[in-house]
């Protein structure tokens, strides 16, 4: 018979406890929160290009100096990723995201009162950049823990928040600037970002506890004395013989006991217990940040992919508005181009999530195909010379960007990279490595624009970085396969060393010793 003890309902602030990955449940609420966190973090960063010309005119600065605002922001966001991982493991995802929301809003609101571009470096670059890191990474990490089979699809759909944000913010901010100016528009954005705190409140941690089968002991056990042989291996070898030889002394054979108690042949009862205890058992401490992933060659290749691919993630979104204006396209039509790119990115993210969920081939190969096509999209921008050509390139780029941007971090949970067990630490280290490209990407594009006086050169630098990223991504699976083969060889070698050769008369010698021992006891 089986007995099931229902778990006690826990308050909303306590962790959700499941016997297996739920693939839903409270995870849908986490996905809802992640949608808005994406909208209010990366959605704002990608829409910042709308303020580029206003900041250049107000501060009388060049493209490269203005682009440092977002570069510092992205650098701080990615450079402090290990700090985000450590704080999340120490204080929990909910608290860290709420603190991040406060920092993001504070930096953006303060930036609206900036007098120089250096003030922007500090407010948006450092303060908001740190807040973005504390908001984004813990949210995507805990979302991956709530899903298994649907992880790729749910993450891709939830990450469309930034796309809808760009689509709605582009015309809204353009209209708002004409009414109240860029400073009050920036202030309004900062106040809106304070709602990240509410999203952080929804992030309940998750604990996976497998069901344990506990054998119920009989109420009364017969007293039985066993005289163990000196050689434990001998006892094991004797008991395994079909003849039933067993050196055991029951109560009837023990001096002083005249009454024999037969063994109970009743089957033992199995009890399944699912309980929640008030006092949690002691568990081994988990590392706040596990750098052992740096010894995995497949992860190193994947990290280099992220390093170079980041060059092509942000610069196009920042320079698409200046590029369209340089081609004589009006401000309203330029905003439409950015909005079209965002909508195409939505379809790209959903399509990538659906394909990855189906797994027609290994997910790492699907990602590689998308990165190659994204490189083609970046090379196509310099050939656009009018509105519809630029619109076509933007839609193609947006779609391919969605396939890569929405999946490259969740793919860390795949066994081809590091697996779900090391997802948290790997994400921190991975985003940390990306910080170098996040710092160098936009300023490098800005320097090329200032040197060549042509915005198309910015897209060439992005395309070159994406091609290098594709090269390293293609090496991930071969490195992982080679590592698995080496581990298998080590396991086989260690197993061969454990094999011990026993003499042919091993059993006979042990039985002889057992008989002599029995005669000695009888003589006593």
- HSE-CB for 218 with a 13 A CA cutoff: 10
What is the predicted pLDDT for the residue at 518?
A: 54
Owner of token pair 């930036």: 111
- Is residue 220's pLDDT more than 60? no
pLDDT (0 to 100) of residue 169: 85
Helix (H) or strand (E) holding 16: strand 16-18
Give pTM, 2 decimals.
Answer: 0.60
3-state secondary structure of 216: coil
- Read off the pLDDT of residues 452-486 as tens digits, 9 standing for 90 and up: 888 888 888 888 889 999 999 899 888 877 655 65
Q: Give residue-wise pLDDT tens across range 287-339.
A: 556 667 777 888 888 889 988 888 777 667 778 888 888 888 887 788 788 88
DSSP tag of 225: B
pLDDT in tens, 383-422: 888 889 889 999 999 899 888 877 787 788 777 787 777 7
Q: What is the pLDDT of residues 297-307, one digit of tens each?
A: 888 888 899 88
pLDDT bracket for residue 230 (50, 70, 90): very low
* Mean pLDDT to the nearest integer, 212-229: 48
Bigger pLDDT: 137 or 194?
A: 194
Long-range contacts of residues 367-371, Cβ cutoff 8 Å, at least 24 apart: 367/404, 367/407, 367/408, 367/411, 367/473, 368/470, 368/473, 368/474, 370/400, 370/403, 370/404, 370/407, 371/305, 371/309, 371/404, 371/466, 371/469, 371/470, 371/473
Higher per-residue confidence, 244 vs 321: 321
Domains of the chain: 15-210 (1.20.1250.20), 290-499 (1.20.1250.20)
CA-to-CA distance for 95 and 138, rounded, in angstroms?
10
Q: What is the DSSP string of 365-384?
A: HHHHHHHHHHHHHHHHGGG-
Q: Which residues pair with 207 in a beta bridge?
A: 17
Query: What's the mean per-residue pLDDT of the chain?
Result: 75
Contact present, 229 and 247 (Cβ < 8 Å): yes
């Amino acid at each position: 018979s089986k007995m099931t003890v229902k778990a006690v309902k826990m308050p909303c602030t306590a962790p959700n406890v499941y016997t297996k990955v739920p693939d839903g449940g409270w995870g849908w609420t986490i996905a809802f929160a992640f949608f808005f966190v994406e909208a209010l973090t990366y959605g704002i960063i990608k829409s910042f290009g709308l303020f580029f010309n206003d900041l250049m005119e107000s501060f009388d600065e060049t493209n490269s100096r203005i682009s440092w605002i977002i570069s510092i922001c992205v650098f701080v966001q990615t450079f402090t990723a290990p700090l985000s991982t450590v704080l999340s493991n120490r204080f929990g995802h909910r608290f860290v995201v709420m603190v991040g929301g406060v920092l993001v809003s504070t930096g953006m609101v303060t930036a609206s009162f900036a007098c120089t571009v250096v003030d922007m470096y500090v407010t948006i670059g450092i303060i908001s950049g740190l807040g973005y890191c504390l908001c984004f990474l813990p949210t995507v990490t805990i979302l991956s823990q709530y899903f298994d089979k649907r992880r790729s699809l749910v993450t891709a759909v939830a990450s469309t928040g930034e796309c809808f944000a760009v689509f709605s913010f582009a015309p809204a901010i353009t209209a708002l600037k004409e009414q109240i100016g860029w400073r009050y528009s920036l202030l309004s954005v900062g106040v809106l970002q304070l709602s990240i705190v509410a999203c952080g409140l929804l992030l309940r941690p998750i604990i996976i506890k497998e069901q344990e089968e506990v054998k119920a002991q009989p109420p009364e056990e017969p007293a039985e004395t066993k005289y163990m042989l000196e050689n434990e291996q001998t006892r094991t070898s004797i008991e395994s013989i079909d003849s039933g030889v067993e050196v055991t002394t029951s109560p009837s054979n023990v001096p002083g006991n005249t009454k024999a108690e037969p063994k109970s042949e009743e089957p033992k009862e199995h009890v399944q217990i699912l309980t929640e205890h008030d006092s949690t058992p002691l568990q081994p401490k988990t590392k706040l940040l596990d750098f052992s992933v740096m010894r995995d060659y497949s992860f190193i290749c994947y990290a280099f992919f992220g390093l170079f691919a980041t060059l092509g993630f942000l610069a196009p979104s920042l320079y698409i508005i200046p590029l369209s204006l340089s081609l004589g396209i009006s401000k309203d039509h330029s905003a439409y181009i950015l909005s079209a790119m965002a909508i195409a990115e939505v379809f790209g993210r959903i399509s990538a999530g659906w394909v990855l969920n189906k797994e027609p081939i290994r997910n790492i190969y699907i990602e590689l195909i998308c990165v190659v096509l994204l490189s083609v999209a970046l090379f196509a921008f310099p050939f656009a010379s009018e509105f519809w050509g630029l619109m076509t390139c933007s839609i193609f780029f947006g779609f391919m960007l969605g396939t890569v941007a929405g999946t490259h971090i969740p793919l860390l949970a795949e066994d081809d990279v590091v697996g779900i067990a090391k997802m948290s630490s790997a994400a921190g280290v991975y985003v940390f490595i990306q910080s170098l490209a996040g710092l160098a990407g936009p300023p490098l594009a800005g320097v090329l624009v200032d040197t060549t006086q042509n915005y198309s050169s910015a897209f060439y630098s992005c395309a070159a970085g994406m091609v290098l990223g594709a090269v390293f991504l293609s090496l991930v699976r071969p490195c992982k396969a080679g590592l698995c083969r080496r581990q298998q060889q080590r396991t086989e070698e260690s197993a061969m060393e454990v094999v011990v050769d026993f003499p042919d008369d091993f059993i006979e010698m042990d039985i002889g010793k057992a008989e002599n021992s029995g005669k000695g006891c009888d003589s006593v």
